[in-house]
Amino acid sequence: MRAAHRNALGLKKDAALTDDILEAHQPFFNARHKAVHELDIVDAAGKGTRGRRHRDIPAVGEQCGCSLQLLTAFITPTARTVRKSLGWSDS
């Protein structure tokens, strides 16, 4: 997630989505992007040539939990804005 995403959604002033908070989550998203890219280049018909990478399971679990909280910080106010623009109640 980047500041451009936050800003495009009109969430620039949201205290849960400061530049520092977004930057703190960047290592998780970098690893995710790398894994997805590698899946794109590995032959789906075969085992591929990339070996397994060691990941610190507790650290990855912590990153996943924090990333889900970050996504919630994006989704909640965005949903509120959409509901309001459609004239729906915010319940």
- pLDDT digits over 36-63, tens only? 887 777 666 666 566 667 778 898 899 8
Q: CB-based contacts of 6: which residues, under 8 Å, 6+ apart?
A: 12, 14, 17, 22, 74
> How is the chain split into domains, by residue range?
3-44+57-85
Q: Which of 4-8, 47-51, 68-72, 79-83 has the lowest mean pLDDT?
A: 47-51
Write the single-letter amino acid at 73: A
Write down the pTM of the prediction.
0.66
Tokens encoding 60:
């990855």
Does residue 76 surpass a pLDDT of 80? Answer: yes
Q: For residue 28, what are its two tokens?
A: 């998780």
